[in-house]
Structures are given as C-alpha cells and as structure tokens.
A and B are shown apart, each in its own frame.
Chain A
Amino acid sequence: MQSALHPTGEHAAITGNLFDLFLGVTGFFFLLVLLFLAWAIWRKDRGGAGERRLPLAVASWAGAITLGLFVLTIGSYFADRSMAFADVGQKPLEIKVTAQQWWWQVAYKGDLPSDTIITANEIHLPLGRPAHLRLVADDVIHSLWIPNLAGKQDLIPGRSTDLRLLPRQPGRFRAQCAEFCGLQHAHMALDVIVDRPAQFAAWQAKSLQPASPPQGDEEKRGYAIVTGQHCSGCHAITGTPAFGTVGPDLTRVASRATLAAGELPNARGWLERWIADPQALKPGNRMPRVPLSPGDRHAVVAYLETLR
C-alpha cells in the first residue's frame, strides 16, 4: 500500500486531518464562486439598483478570503507544531538512510559498532515507537516519501536531513523516491515494514547474527563464487570475506520482498534473471553483467536463497 489517503502513522494522520480542513474551506469557496458565476450567467432582471451593492460585496468577499486564509494558516501552523511534538519524551530508534542511484541503504546503529544492522531497500520499524531517520545522499538529490507514514524529505549531497516517523498500525507500506534522480528514478522504491515490538525485536536479534554458513554442495559452490570472485567486490555478507560497500548488503537478501529496489519480486527465477543480466532489467544501474556459466549462476542463486 502506498497512499497518503490512508495514514497509518502519526504524522500522516495529522496531515490527513489538515487536508480535510483545507478541502472543506477551499471547497466552500469554490462553491461560492460557482454560485455567483451561475447567478451572473442566468440572472433575469439585468441592470437596476443591485449594482450599488457591488463595492460592499467585493469588500466582504476580500474579507471572507482573508478570514479563510487565516484559518488555514493557523491550522497549518498547529499541524506543524503537533507534528514537531508528536514524539517528545520517547527515545527514538535511530536509523541512517543513505540514498544512491537507485537504491536505499538502511543502517540501524547500535551501542557498539558490532550492533550495527545494515540492510537495503527496506525499513523495519517497531509499532508505536518513534523513529528518527537521518538522511544522506551519496550522489544526486533523492527524496524519501512514505506517504502512509509521513510527508517527504529530500536527501541532498553535502547535507544531512531528518525525517521523524511514528507508526500507529502494523503492516507493509510501499515508499518511493520522489525527487527525479536520473535514469531509473521510477525504480527506486523501498518497503517499510511496521512490526509489533516483539516481532521487531526478533527481527533485530536475527539480523545481528552473521550469515549462516552454506550447507549443501551447490550452496557451497555458490558461496565460493560469491565470496571469492566477482560479487564480494561490491556486496557485503556479514560473517564472510565479502565486504564490498558499493552495492546493497546481502546478509539477509532472501528475506526481502523485492529485488532491485522494489522493481522485481524476490523469487528464485527473478533473482537468477537479475544476476544473468541486470542491465536488461534495470538499464543504467551500477551492477555489471557478470560472466557466469549457467551452472555457476544456479549455484550462486542457491546460496543467496539461504541468506534469510
């Protein structure tokens, strides 16, 4: 789900109420204009003394507009304030989101460096706990928009910005880059998963574990290719010699719902096609076509499928 009309977070809910206020007030004025216009068109007895009341009417109209704008400005101000104070008093979850052409890196900082969780193209959030997202961009300007939870916030190279979230309903919400960021701007989405606190804690605990070692022969062959050859130059898998930082972290890749930043479903066939020719599926992305024999590719996929 990806919609500002169904708020599931505190900030989006406040904005939703404000939108209703704006819709009511502007709708009222639109109705007044239509009524006056209809009267002007279909008026029967033209001329006469009514004209002398026009100056008073225009003054009242200007007064009404001013009053309407005043109400909306005040409403907007109070909405802004209640958003600013929505999460006061609770310790927020600190998350760092780094946007790059055309995917998202998401890092949960722990108290110790070894407590850091790094994932890609998904944000897990605990229900009812404020989250404080620090937003940075590596290359061009991007914008993080999770319409169900809050308004958007740009990620600008050379600057750091903030986004505050307070999820009020569990569920899986789609989010997308909202600032044109180049060739594959359309394919820069991410999933936001709001879990109950216990589930979130379980996810957190699991994510702190290193990747489990490969079991079967094919998985072992895949492991050797991934960590020993091309893949590890760009990708990291905790607990293995793969620690590249150019591409998304693959430690839990099989647990994610999508591939290529929301473009493809994360299913075995799609993963294999992706590895075979990333440029055909998402032209311009930074993953090169790696020459692998079908057997090797199959083994790589088999290993990656175990990374849950």
Chain B
Amino acid sequence: VSRVDGPDFTGEALHRALDRTWSDAPGLWGWITTVDHKRVGRRYIATAFVFLALGGVLALLMRLQLARPESGLISADRYNQIFSMHGTSMMFLFAVPVMEAMAVYLIPLMVGTRQIAFPRLNAFSYWVYLFGGIFLWVSFLLNIGPEAGWFSYVPLAGPEYSPGKRTDVWAQLITFTEVAALAGAVELITTILKQRAPGMSLNRMPLFAWSILVTSFMIVFAMPAVMLASSFLISDRLVGTQFFNPAEGGDALLWQHLFWFFGHPEVYIIFIPALGFVSQIVETFTQREVFGYPLLVLAVVSIGLLAFGLWVHHMFATGLPRVGYSFYTAASMMIALPSGVQIFCWIASIWRGRPRWETPLLWVLAFIVTFVIGGLTGVMVASVPLDLQLHDSYFVVAHFHYVLIGGAVFPLLGAVTYWFPKFTGRMMAEPLGKWTVLLAFLSFQLTFFPMHVTGLLGMPRRVYTYPAGIGWDTLNLVSTIGAFVFAGSVLLFIVNVFHSLRSGRPASANPWNAAGLEWKPSSPPPAWNFDHIPRVDSATPLWDAERPVIPGLRTDKRELLLTTVVDAVPDLRDPSAPPSPWPLFSAIAATILFLGSIFTPWAIVWGSLLLAVPLILWFWPHDPLEPKPEQGDE
C-alpha cells in the first residue's frame, strides 16, 4: 500500500520519503541522469550566460576594430565571421535559451507543482542546446564559423557565394536550437496549463507565467518557419535543390519571408518573458499587486499576436508593393499601444505603492527608460519612408540594442538578482548590485546612443571598416569606450554572482516578502519542491493569511497533481518520469546525425537508426503505477 502525503504524514518522516523518491543518485551518475527541472534550469541559465560572455567578447573585438577608421586590426574575413557569430550566439544561444531556462526553473515552482511536464524531454532539450552551442563555437575556432550574418540571406549564403562548410554550420546550429526551443516550449505550455496548484485559475496566474505561456506558443508557431527555411538552405547547399536560385525558378526573397516570419516573433520571444520579470519585480518591491493585471495580460497576448503580422517591416527596401507595406506599417506601429499601456501600469504601480529601492527594482528603472527609447525608435522604423533611410544603418543597430539589452537583458539581470536567493540559498551583495545598475545604465547609453547619429550620418551596418573624415570617427570611438565600460559592468555582475555564491548572506524561504508560490519552499527548494501541493485563493497566495494545502499525492513514486486548464480544479494524479541517462545519449546521437548531415545526406539515414537506439530505451514500456518494493518501509 502506498503512502500519500497528508495531515498524518508530515515533517521529517515525509521529507525522508520524498527525498528517497525525488532525489538524484549521488555523484557523476546523478549529474548526467538528472531530470530535476531546478538542476537542469540552473545548468541552462549558467550555460546561456557563458554564451552571453563569449558573444560579448566578440562585441568588444568589433568595437576595437571600429574604434578608428581604416583599422587593420581584424581582417574583413575574420570580422564578418565575428559579427555573424555575435548575432548567432546572442540570439540563438543566449537570449531565447536564457528566457526558457529561467522559466524551466521558475514556472513549476510558481504554479505550485513538484516537477516540470516531460522532465526527460527537458533534460534532452538542455543537452541538445549545449552540444549545438559547443559545435558552433568549436567551428568558429576552427575557422569554419558562419560568415553570412545571423540572418544568412541568400544568395550570399547559398552554395555559389558561400562555398565551404561555414554556412552549413550556421544552418545546423539552427536545427539544434529549434529542437531545444520547441521541446522547452511544449513542456512549459503543458506545465502552465495542466499543473497549476488547485485554485490558481488563469486570472490568478503570476504575470510571468502568462508571459511564458504566450512566449511558448509563439515558439511553437514561429520556429517551424525557420526550420523550413534552414532545411531549404541545407538542401540547396547539400543536394542541389534550387529553392533560392532565381536562375532556376527559385526566389531569393522567399528566404527573407520565411526567416522574418520567424525572426520578428523571435524578438518578442526574447522580450515578452522580460515583461514578466518586470511585473514580478514591481509587485514584490512595491509590496502590492501590480496595477492593471487584466491590461498587462491583454497587452502580452496582443503583442504575441501582432508579432506575427509585421515581419515585412524588415523588407521595406526590397521593392514589394507599396499597398502591402501600409498594412505592416500599421501593424508595427500598433505594437506601441500595448507596450505603452504596460509601461503605464508599471509606473502606476510604483506611483501608488511604497517602493523599496533594492537592486532588482533599480534594474526595472533602467529598463523603463532604455526600453521606451528603443520602443520609440521602433515607431520610427515602422514608417516606410523613414525606414528606407534608417534600415541597415547604425540607427537600427542602436534601436535593437535598446530593445534587446534595455528591454530584455536589464530585466533579466534584475530577475537573476531577485531570484538568486531561490536559486542558490544566498543573497547577492547589495551595494555592489546598485553600482552595477548605475554603471551599466550609463555606459549602455554612452555606447549605443551615438549609434543613432552614426546611422543618420550614413554609416551602414556590418562594415568591417570605414573611411576617415566623413564624420564617423569620434562617434565610433565614443561607442567603443562605452562598450568597454559596459563590459566592465557585466564583469561586476559576474563577480557579484561568484562572490555571493561563496559568501553571500544566507537567504530565508521568502527574503523579499514576495507573494508568489516559488517563495514557499526553502531557498534553494528541495528536490520535490512542495511538501504538500498548496491551494491558491488569490493572485498573491503568500500574502494571504491562511495557506491551505491539498494532500494526497504518493510519496513512494514521483507523482504530480493535474488540474483543469481554466479553473485549476483538481483533475488527475499523473506519474512523473524518474532520472534517466537516455536523454543524454539521445542528444549525443542527435548531434552525430546533425553534424554528419553537413557532410553527407546519408547521415540522416544512418543517424536516424543510431538515434532510434537510445530513444527505444528511453521509451521502454513500463507500468508507471507499479509500486517499487522498498526496504525499511514500515
């Protein structure tokens, strides 16, 4: 007879039972077989930050080269690889994965469940992502890194103008990140829709969960477009199809439509989770529910929908029919409405609350000022006549760094500071954190604000050098100085992280007195997250006086409580997969398949057979409810 948690089974005895069921094996075996969403999530976050640092080093190299005109520091070939790698790393290996990674860690805790949905798929997603990232960077070091930009426009990326393996490496990296991102999206959607604690109806869900729900659906709809595009590209390059060759009836613009149908939503896939961070931070540091919860939800949902209707604003200079352009201008400008309403709601929340000015909230201030500038220049590039001047100039470089760093990285650093005690059990150092915000904010403006002007003065993007004496020299030098100071602020943040990991102040379960369920278990949480599944009666459960729980889950097997999609009424008990080495071996087999198919199409045939082996072992049938005979069970 199985034991279930309940009123008569709590405390030490319960912890021992849950520990036996939920903990990983010790040592290396536990490290490679773990499916714990917290361990995988931490790993995912740390890896993404490594790629951020690597991409940042590339940015510094580019700024060094552009510090003065006609600089011979970096050759044209190397520079083109560097900016292609910078974009590819930042978009595919840092920005999207880090947002999913934060969600993988936080969402199960926030919605009050013991484990993410499909935990083995989650482990698989991480391994595929890791191997993809290593593959890209090793290729770069072997001088076969991508050279045609993170957007790989054909025909430049086609077989004729990009011979060799460089663009194949890029196209296969896309495959890696697609697989990883789609897997993550499916897990998060399922966790959010089916595993919320009883009583957490959709209108009581944390705003971060709303952000991640919208983001994950966007991933599901956007990624197939780039998957199709990159598969066309690989087959053009590898087996001589002619999808993009105008001489054989293909079309160069087909690539751009497919790529931007993914590429523009991609930007919002990065940005929408950051909106969720901001809402959570504002709630906690004003100690009050955020103003305008329904507006914020509607804003995020409408941004998610509009994001799919404005890809053509990347193609205003391609000479498509003018009438069609008007639609995309209107759709692009419309984004300003939900974004503006959100900004209002956050400022209003600060206005009516009693803000505690700790580091996470300071990151939010830096976010608001910077992001609003980026949003407003975004309105400018939505206009066709203006875009024709600004497109592909340094103005656009400034614009999207305001949106991506100001709109996503600042909130992310705030979020890391905010949830650091939950991740590690220790607080980050406060005065250092505040200085980091100030330095990052000022040096960011110093780096990127001048780029608006350099762009208006006619400097195009992606040039490895520029002539002296046409007014670009000083502005570029200022940007370079700013970039190095900005890198210093990121370094301060990293120093703070490592210092706090060792000797930060130990954190209680809820050090900020926040309202979300993720602050209920200890910091860091035990492997099983919650002793008992909590019941939720409001959008701010930890601020409610009573904290009722729902007992009745098995403690001798991994079991989750599933609830209904809208109202979160208890529905089913569902088994959750135990640790397994097969996600890792499947990822290794998938990597062999992807790598091999750069060289021969036969790799897909033999690689599939190879991949089948670990997949069969992974999905080997068993009766999930069959009790395991346990020693020492009374």
Contact = CB atoms under 8 A, between A and B. Distances in A.
Interface string B342-372: 0111011011111100000000010011001
16 contacts: A37-B365, A40-B350, A46-B352, A62-B341, A139-B161, A147-B458, A158-B246, A159-B252, A159-B253, A174-B458, A180-B392, A184-B76, A185-B80, A283-B75, A283-B77, A284-B77
Contact of A37 (B317, B369, B376, B390): B369
A152 interface: yes
Interface string A242-262: 000000000000000000001
A26 B379 contact: yes
Contact of B464 (A1, A15, A151, A186): A186
A22 B383 contact: yes
Interface stretch (A68-76, A210-218, A219-227): A68-76
A193 interface: no
A183 B76 contact: yes
B347 A159 contact: no
Contact of A182 (B161, B353, B466): B161
Interface in B315-334: 317-319, 322, 326, 329-330, 333-334
Contacts of A79: 383, 385
For this complex, into which size category does the number of interface residues on chain A fall?
A: 35 or more
B333 A39 contact: no
Interface of A: 1-5, 12, 14-15, 18-19, 22, 26-27, 29-30, 33-34, 36-37, 39-41, 43, 46-47, 50-51, 54, 57-58, 61-62, 65-66, 69, 72-73, 75-77, 79-80, 83-84, 101, 139-141, 143, 145, 147, 150-154, 156-159, 161-162, 174, 176-186, 189, 262, 283-284
A52 to B, nearest CB: 10
Contacts of B153: 140-141, 179-180
Nearest to A157: B246
Contacts of B466: 186
B597 to A, nearest CB: 25
A153 B316 CA distance: 9
Task: Tell me which of B153, B333, B337, B383 has the highest count of chain A C-beta atoms within 10 A of its own C-beta.
Answer: B383
Given A37-B347, A156-B253, A180-B153, A185 B463 contact: yes
Contacts of A147: 389, 456-458
Interface string B491-509: 0000000000000000000
Given A2-B470, A140-B155, A76 B386 contact: yes
Nearest to B335: A69
Contacts of A47: 352
B456 A5 contact: yes
Contacts of A141: 153, 155-156, 252
Nearest to B383: A76
Nearest to A37: B347
B330 A73 contact: yes
Contacts of B76: 183-184, 186, 283-284
B484 to A, nearest CB: 23
Contact of A162 (B319, B351, B369, B471): B319
Given A2-B458, A174-B470, A22 B352 contact: no
Interface in B457-479: 457-458, 460-467, 470-471
Nearest to A180: B462
Nearest to B457: A3
B157 to A, nearest CB: 9
B173 to A, nearest CB: 18
A54 B295 CA distance: 13
A54 B348 contact: yes
B77 A183 contact: yes
Contact of A4 (B292, B355, B457): B457
B380 A19 contact: yes
Given A36-B347, A79-B385, A65 B337 contact: yes
Contacts of A41: 350, 355, 365
Nearest to B381: A22
Contacts of A174: 458, 470
A179 B392 contact: yes
Given A151-B388, A180-B153, A184-B76, 18 more contacts: A36-B347, A40-B348, A54-B291, A54-B352, A58-B292, A58-B344, A62-B341, A66-B337, A69-B379, A73-B383, A80-B385, A84-B322, A139-B161, A140-B155, A156-B319, A176-B460, A178-B460, A180-B461
Contacts of A50: 352
A177 B377 CA distance: 23
Given A58-B292, A157-B155, A152 B388 contact: yes
Contacts of B376: 26-27, 29-30
A22 B458 contact: no
Contacts of A177: 460
Contact of B347 (A33, A51, A154): A33
A270 to B, nearest CB: 14
Nearest to B341: A62
Given A40-B347, A183-B80, A178 B329 contact: no
A22 B352 CA distance: 32
A73 B626 CA distance: 65
Task: Tell me which of A147, A162, A177 has the highest count of chain B C-beta atoms within 10 A of its own C-beta.
Answer: A147
Interface in B558-598: none
Contact of B386 (A15, A34, A181): A15
Contacts of B251: 158
Contacts of B369: 34, 37
Contact of A140 (B156, B337, B390): B156
B404 interface: no
A18 B76 CA distance: 36
A156 B318 contact: yes
Given A46-B352, A183-B80, A153 B319 contact: yes
Given A26-B376, A180-B153, A186-B76, A58 B341 contact: yes
A152 B385 CA distance: 10
A154 B340 contact: no
Contact of B389 (A51, A65, A77, A152): A152
B161 A140 contact: yes
Nearest to B378: A26
B333 A73 contact: yes
B516 interface: no
B532 interface: no
